[in-house]
Structure 1
Amino acid sequence: MRYQNTYVHLDTRLYHKQPPTPLDNPRIGHFNMQVAQQLGWADDEDLMARWVEILGGQYLPADFEPLAMAYAGHQFGQWAGQLGDGRGLLMAQVLDNNDQPQDLHLKGIGLTPYSRMGDGRAVLRSTIREYLCGHALTQLGIPSSNALGFVVSDTRVRRERMEAGAALMRVADSHIRLGHVEWIASFAPDLLSEFTDYMIDTYYPECRQSETPVLAFLTAVVERTARMIADWQLIGFAHGVMNTDNLSITGSTLDFGPFGFMERFNPAWINNHSDHTGRYAYQNQPAIGHWNLNTWLPHFMRLEGVTRETLADCLAPYEATFMQHYQQGLCRKLGLPHQRDSLSLAFEWLTFLEDNLLDYTNSFRALLALVAPNDYPYEQQLLSTMMAELNDEANKVWQDWSARYLAQLQPLSMEQAFNDMQANNPAYVLRNSMAQRAITAAEQGQFEEVNRVFELLANPYDVQTIATDLDSAPPAPHAPQMPISCSS
């Protein structure tokens, strides 16, 4: 690998250097060869031969320089003070095969000075969920952290019960969060200028071409965040805990806790069982993204040339960027051009899904069978299942909407429409029930289901023979979607 360990050369107040605390008897959980090849890990015989020892904390390659990052954050809208890497270490930074920086971050590897009341460990169930979700979002084309692999061990960890300890090597283009700047502003304000230069030079070097590099950087972070959240909304993904310490400066999805993919369409869906007010409900994610950025930006007023007015200009593109990306994506999901009539049909469709509690992923995918019933047998089954759930009144609404939809498609290039619909409507997403079946088997020492789900989600837009009926089965229409705990 091409190491580029730069964070370790920043001011030592920003981190704590330490080795990982080994797990007992680490064993193979799953290995992501695609990520290994991307990083150059696959080209190193020593890394490949000893990856289980490395992820288990038992072997430290010479070029690794592990450290725990300090950061702060607002959690559920309230200032939480100092946080930091409480159970993970930034092990190394590298350039991947596309010359892009990537962080290797080992999660679940013991206590750090930032562990607070935690034990520094991760359990198998949460490790599997993060491993599969990072993979799923990446293959769906949504910017996200991914993972090189994970191990399970004999180390016992207490949560609601005693569970198997595990560790995951998370790979992300950056682990710098909005909360890093919040920490600096509160505890080391003299570092803000140096740290801002580091963020620009490392992750946004193109901003150096601007007459005002700092403002260009801040605007770019705003726009990337808006596009990421639009992607979440389009695919039906709910992060569940959008605290400022869980949002990356690069606009990539980070920190998978109580996440979920929408099943029965309910915009007010709360997938985090600790979110009693619904702050992080699916429909609130765009507004929370704006709130987080609006909380983050004023810290930069300490820098020369940055004023409240210029920061307002940096934040201003958020709404327009989000709406344009979301609306364009919504039209592509229907195979329609981005125009007013298309959007009108699209929002009518979403209302129809909500009114009838239809499955979000299956219903969009089923539209392929409406357009070309003889070419899409899998989608034809989805469409039949959807229509069987409609009462007489809903069926009339469907007939009216589908007729107007087909009429709007008719003058278009059907090949382009099919391509857009297939490329933007997955056949499979990581449903909570799917993840839970993989976890249940893994807790019995059987990882075949983890591998099957991993392979299925590697090509989520293609109908696959390894799929089962359960992979596409939503909960009963009025059954609550499984809420997920932050406990991990």
Structure 2
Amino acid sequence: MHIISQYPTLDARLYHQQQPSPLMGAKAGHFNQALAEQLQWSAADQAQWVEICSGQQTFPEFTPLAMVYAGHQFGQWAGQLGDGRGVLIAQVIQTDGQTTDLHLKGAGKTPYSRMGDGRAVLRSVIREYLAGHALTALGVPSSNAVGFTSSTQAVQREQREPGAMMLRSSDCHIRLGHFEWINQYAPDLLKDFVDHCITWHYPACLTAEQPVLAFAQQVIQRTAIMIAKWQLCGFAHGVMNTDNLNITGSTLDFGPYGFMERFRPSWINNHSDHTGRYSYKQQPSIGHWNLWVWVNNLIPLAAADEKESFKKDLVACLAHFEPTFLEHYRLGLCEKIGLPDFHKDSFDCAMAFLNILQSEQLDYSQSFILLQQQHYQKLKDDCLNTRAFDEFLIQYQQIRSGQDTATLDAKMQQVNPVYILRNHMLQTAIELAEQDDFSEVDRLFQLLSQPYTRQADLERAADLAPLPSDQPEIMVSCSS
């Protein structure tokens, strides 16, 4: 494994170096061998993955550290935050040459723990472990994880629960909230910090006429693309605080997330979100708001006599968010529904289909699969308003008439997952894991590795449908 040490070259005010606090009685949960190999783990490291993923063993080439940052939480300034239960234990070069952070979550108290105990519970670790794996397999930029361990060490939340630790990988752990902390508490660090962010993550911007503006535009566009991909696969993050978005546009920090089942755009999957700020339909606008907060933290980089023009340039960068999001969402939605993106009526037809899913409360993922399989009558049978469906189908078939339907159908198969990570699937895996049975975690891991391919030998009926309408949804809290 090729370990480098980038982040510790920054000013020491930005982190606190410390070793993780190992889990007592650590035991194997699940290991992502394919990711370990991608990260070029040696045979010896792979053999000791339990020790590494439980904080018992670190790498001599890198001194573990906890990052400090700040943020806006639910739209309100929250002040100093930071890695309250995690430490960065390595930065490695993957087989493709990309730099990846290895971050141990549940690693004990840090100076940024506030009132927390620095630990993670098994249920939250399993949720994040499988979510990162699921999004990665769906082609959505995301953190992933090498593995997780369970423990005989109990953690107190609403009740006593098994403790756990997870080794997360991400292309970047620098959050929008890092810039907020610097401007609030150490403004002298801003220029050097931004220069390093550009050099490490956006080196192509170094040759731009104005590297900072090029950097800002890239962060904005990548974030817009990530959120478009979330919307297309029906993923709701649940806690889009500024400290939970990073600068590379990859999904980070899974709390009370969820994958859309019955299509309800106003769905709130976090029972702490009383206003619906982080509902599925709000994600694009919240992403824009977070980036607006972020670009304001770049203004101090301008000289005093250039601040007004620099503000206008940053506003121009931010203006790229909406068209970038809409372009990728429109193209993706046309692919999902099997219509040519160049046809003037394709997007309106796709939106008509979504309106049917919403009014009839149909399953988001499986409805696209039925459409892909041309099971039109089955879709119609699930509708009370059959007239609306007939009108949609007439327009749909008219647009497809004379098109290269074989190519359109092939693309549908590539972008419509047969399997998503439904909350009741997760709950079953968690309940078994809390009894030291990780077989269901492993089954879901395998199933979600190939979400676009039917796997009759692995799947269960519950994998393909939401809970019956007379059963309440599983609500998820921020407690972890």
Band the TM-score falls in, shorter-chain normalisation:
over 0.9
Q: Say which SS state the counterpart of residue 310 (structure 1) adopts.
A: helix
Shift of 1:402: 1.5
d(CA) in 1 for partners of 2:21 and 2:379?
A: 51
Q: How does 1:305-384 map to 2 (within 5 A)?
A: 307-338=310-341, 339-370=343-374, 380=375
Q: Is 1:487 aligned to 2:479, yes or no?
A: yes
Larger mean CA deviation between 471-480 and 255-264 belongs to: 471-480
Q: Does 1:476 align with 2:479?
A: no
Counterpart mapping for 1:383-402 below 5 A = 386-391=379-384, 394-402=385-393
For residues 22-79 of structure 1, the C-alpha deviation after alignment (integer angstroms, 9 at most, x for no partner) is 10111110000111111001xx132112111111111222123200000000000000
Which residue in 1 is equivalent to 2:298? 300
Stretch of structure 1 that moved more, 327-336 or 60-69? 60-69
5+ long unaligned stretches in structure 2: none
* Contact 1:358–1:477 (Cα < 8 Å) also in 2: no
Superposed displacement of residue 478, structure 1? 6.6
In 2, Cα distance between the equivalents of 1:194 and 1:109? Answer: 29
1:419 aligns with 2:410: yes
Q: Secondary structure at the match of 1:195?
A: helix
SS of residue matched to 1:274 = coil
User: Tell me, what secondary structure is at the counterpart of 2:297?
Assistant: helix
**Partner AA of 2:170 in structure 1:** A
What residue number does 2:169 align with?
Answer: 171
**1:340 match: secondary structure:** coil
Q: Percent identity?
A: 54
Amino acid at match of 2:462: L
Q: Distance in 2 between matches of 1:442 and 1:387?
A: 40
Q: Is the CA contact 1:86–1:113 (under 8 Å) kept in the aligned structure 2?
A: yes
- Secondary structure of 1:460's partner? coil
Structure 2 counterpart of 1:458, which letter? S
CA distance in 2, matches of 1:291, 1:276: 19
Is the 1:264–1:477 Cα contact (8 Å) retained in structure 2? no
Structure 2 residue 147 is the aligned partner of structure 1 residue 149: yes
- Distance in structure 2 (CA, Å) of the matches to 1:463 and 1:168: 29
Q: Give deviations 1:336-378, integer Å, cap 9, x for gaps.
A: 11132001101111111111011101101111221xxxxxxxx
Paired with 2:454 and 2:479, the residues of 1 have a C-alpha distance of 34
Indicate if the aligned counterparts of 1:73 and 1:80 stay in contact, CA closer than 8 A: yes
Distance in 2, Cα, partners of 1:456 & 1:92:
29
User: TM-score with structure 1 length normalisation?
Assistant: 0.95
Q: Which amino acid aligns with 1:26?
A: A
Tell me the secondary structure at the aligned position of residue 414 of structure 2: helix
1:264 touches 1:475 (CA, 8 Å); kept in 2?
no
Distance 2:472 2:407 in 1: 37
Please tell me the residue identity of whatever aligns with 1:32: N
1:160 deviates by 1.0
User: Which string of whole-angstrom CA distances, capped at 9 and with x for unpartnered residues, describes residues 246-281 of structure 1?
Assistant: 001000000000000001111100000000000001
CA contact (8 A) 1:270 1:483 kept: no
Is the contact between residue 151 and residue 167 of structure 1 (CA under 8 Å) also seen in structure 2?
A: yes
Give the superposition deviation at 1:479.
5.3
What amino acid does structure 2 have at the position aligned with 1:13?
R
1:384 to partner: Cα distance:
6.5
1:374 corresponds to: none
Preserved CA contact (<8 Å) 2:338 2:372: no
The reply to whether residue 231 of structure 1 matches residue 229 of structure 2 is yes
Q: Give the C-alpha shift of residue 480 in structure 1.
A: 5.0
Distance 1:155 1:385, change over 3 A: farther
Once residues 229 and 131 of structure 1 are traced to their aligned partners in structure 2, the CA distance between those partners, rounded to angstroms, is 20
Residues 121 and 165 in structure 1, CA contact (< 8 A), matched pair in contact too? yes
Cα deviation, residue 232, structure 1: 0.4
CA contact (8 A) 2:236 2:280 kept: yes
Matched letter for residue 478 of structure 2: C
- 5+ long unaligned stretches in structure 1: 371-379
Shift of 1:387: 3.9
Give the TM-score taking structure 2 as reference length: 0.97
1:400 to partner: Cα distance = 2.5
Following superposition of structure 1 onto structure 2, how do residues 94-243 of structure 1 map, counting pairs within 5 Å? 94-243=92-241
Q: Secondary structure at the match of 1:421?
A: helix
Give the residue type in structure 1 aligned to 2:324.
T
Distance 1:386 1:115 in 2: 50
Distance 1:421 1:36 in 2: 31
Does the aligned pair in 1 maintain the 2:134–2:448 contact within 8 Å?
yes
User: Any residues of structure 2 matched to 1:429-448 within 5 Å, and which?
Assistant: 429-448=420-439
> Could you tell me how far 1:415 is from its partner in structure 2?
1.6
- Deviation readout 1:80-100 (Å, 9 max, x if unpaired): 000000000000101111111
Name the aligned partner's letter for residue 382 of structure 2.
E
- 2:77 maps to amino acid: W
Helix, strand or coil: the match of 2:223?
helix
* Matched residue SS, 1:116: coil
Mapped to 2, the partners of 1:459 and 1:233 lie a distance apart of 20
Q: Tell me the CA shift for residue 398 of structure 1.
A: 1.5
**Two-structure CA RMSD over aligned residues (Å):** 1.2
One-letter code of the match for 1:231? K
